[in-house]
Every structure is written in structure tokens, then in C-alpha cells.
Amino acid sequence: MQRIPVAILGATGAVGQRLVSILFDHPWFEPVALCASERSAGKPYGQSTRWMLPDPMPQAAATMAVRGCAPFSGPAIAFSALDADVASEIEEDWAKSGRLVVSNARCHRMRVDVPLVVPELNADHLRLVERQPYPGGGAIVTNPNCSTIGLVMALKPLDDAFGLRAVNVVTLQAASGAGYPGVPFMDLIDNAVPYIHGEEEKLEAEPIKILGRLSADGSRVEGATFGVSAACHRVAVSDGHLEAVSVSLERPADRASILRAWMDAGADTDGLRLPSAPERPLVYIDAPDRPQPRFDRGAGKGMSATLGRLRPCSTLGWKFELLSHNTLRGAAGGTVLLAELCVVKGLVPRAAGFAVLGEAMPELELEPALA
């Protein structure tokens, strides 16, 4: 059975490596190109990459020659782990050439015609791509910021059940969120830093779009009406963003009804059998001191958000703690899950020499064959 040929843009960086690790062992996708800056181009991936994951580099990746990031024929999907400063133009070039770009970069996230998607929450926003100007099925879809994803996964059921009025979130974020080399050791040893450049802005804006409502004609997202106030910190943790969240709700809620809202929350991915979808997107841990990054970031193979310590907040109403793995669910894993959703939604373009899957996906009947 044929897998979908994909390229990984920014393959040598921290998120790129996670993509390589996931995609070389993926049932639907086949990495045919590892792309990075021209400086690395031509060299084997194994030589141009300082591999930073505990799991070994896939052998097939190690020997693949790195290519530049300009579009070329072959891949139907381009996974983008590019730095924001170069991502914008390169991603557009791939979309213009008729490919699906699934991006982890921030540059297109807030564009009115670009869906910003957490597959379980707002799969319907993918319809925005119909408004994009790219030919041949080309499109750009985006994955939210690493600190946003876990938060909106926890907020969506609350918004559905009780109506969100206001959210206060204070983060304790892992160093891997800054990429590699990222944060110097001398900045975080015996320390915590109450600032991450641009992070609070993203964390205050992205939930509004993700939890917004697609207009009836599918042309735009009407932003959610609650406000988010964020204070972001870097702490001495490798992986796993911990967030202290307080919420003000429109309608009355008690502890039991909030827990039930989380437990019973349906997901837009239910029944789709996406390979990267965790069995339970939300896991509530009923212990006094959880979730904790070192012990809980691996929940659902790093794709579940874990919750704990739900209790009344004298200021806003309710508060709780939230954890999600920032380079799996929050970056590479989330991006792959989004691509899987695009496959079953028929967004993989027929151009680019890859005709079959795009047609059949909407009916989901090809899935058994794929898996």
C-alpha cells in the first residue's frame, strides 16, 4: 500500500527532529525529503543534525541527503517546523505549488483565511482553506503555539457547558519550547524567568480564534468573546508546559459538573481512527499534587493534556492546573495529528502526483487500507 509522500521543512531543528522521529515510523506518511537551510543542503541528515532525542535517529533519515527548502516535485504535504522569520515565504511557495502545508510556525496562524486547528476541537475550521488563493489544491493549515494547545483543550468543554467569560493563565514552560540551542544553561540553573518573548500575546490571541465560530458561509471565524490574560514563565524543565488556570464562567457550575464536562467532552476526531489521536485527549488526575511535568507529560504518548487540582477560585470562580507536552502535543505531534485530519477531510491535493487518497478520504473507507 502506498503512503503519502511528505517533506519536512526545518528538519534539523528541535521540532523538526521530533517530526522526523514520528514520521519515519508513520503508517500513512512517507518522508521523501528532509529540508533545511542551504548551508546543510547536500549533506546526509545524520551529519548535519545534532540529534537531541533519547530515541535514536531513524536509520533511513540518517542517510538521506538534506535539501534546501524551496519547493520541488514529489511531496504532497510539507510539514513546516521552520523558524518564523523564514517560514512565511517558504510556506507560501509550497502552497502556491499546489501542496498542503501543515505548519507549526506562527506566521500565518492569525490570517483570516488560514485555519488554526486543534483537531479534536475545531476541525470544521479547515473549511477556511477554500478561501485561500493557492492553485491546484494548495493550502496552508496551522497548529497553535505550544502553550495554547493544552489550554484550549481544557477550555473548550467549559465553554460549551458553561460559557467562558474570562480566563487567567500563568504558565511554567519547559526550555525545549525555545528550540535548540535555545535557553542558555546559565539562564535557568537555580532560576525561573518571568518572560518569554511574544508568548503572552500568542496565548491571549490564539484561543479566541480556535474557540471561535465558523461563519455560516465558511468564510471566516468569529472570535470567541471571553478574554484571556496570560503571564508566561520559563522554568528549569526539559519538556512539559504546566499552566495554572482560573476561569470565570457564565453559568453556574460545581465541581462535579465541571469534571463531567471534561470527561464527557466529545472530540471532532471521534471515530476517525487517526493514528496520532490519543485515546483520551483530556485526563484528570485525582491527586493533590498533579499534574507534574516529569511524571505526566508522557500521558497518551505525549498527546493527552492532563488536568488536576480543580478547586474554587475566590477571584474568578474556578481554578485548576493543566499540563501538556510542548514538543509532542504542542508541536510535532499536534502537527502530524492535524495532517492526519487533513487527509481524512480530503485536503491532500490531487496535484503533485498524488491522486488517489484525496478522493477517497472523505468517505473514510480507505482507512483500513492505510492503517
Residues near its own copies (CB under 8 A) are 14, 52-54, 166-168, 170, 172, 175-176, 180-195, 204, 227-229, 231, 233, 235-238, 242, 244, 246, 248, 288-295, 298, 308-309, 313-316, 319, 321
CB 110 within 8 A of CB 198: no
Q: Which is nearer to its own copies, 2 or 238 (CB)?
A: 238
* DSSP states of 269-308: TTTS--TT--S-SEEE--STT---HHHHTTGGGGTSEEEE
* DSSP states of 32-86: EEEE--TTTTTSBHHHH-----SSPPPHHHHTSBPB-SS--SS-SEEEE---HHH
Nearest to 168 by CA among 229, 122, 97, 220: 229
- Cα angle at 237 between 235 and 240, to 5 degrees? 105
Q: Residue 28 CB, nearest distance to its own copies (Å)?
A: 27
Known catalytic residue: 146?
yes
Q: Grid coordinates standing for 109?
A: 496562524
Q: Residue 243 CB, nearest distance to its own copies (Å)?
A: 9
Per annotation, catalytic residue among 35, 69, 107, 146: 146
Q: Residue 227 CB, nearest distance to its own copies (Å)?
A: 4
Distance between CA atoms of residues 117 and 139, nearest Å: 14
Q: Residue 90 CB, nearest distance to its own copies (Å)?
A: 25
Q: Residue 54 CB, nearest distance to its own copies (Å)?
A: 6
CB 191 within 8 A of CB 185: no
Compute how many other C-beta atoms are within 10 angstroms of the C-beta atom of residue 298: 16
Q: Which is nearer to its own copies, 254 or 363 (CB)?
A: 254
Q: Which is nearer to its own copies, 133 or 194 (CB)?
A: 194
Q: Which is nearer to its own copies, 72 or 180 (CB)?
A: 180
CB 285 within 8 A of CB 307: yes
Known catalytic residue: 313?
no
Q: Which is nearer to its own copies, 215 or 255 (CB)?
A: 255
Per annotation, catalytic residue among 26, 125, 241, 325: 241
Which residues are marked as active site? 146, 241
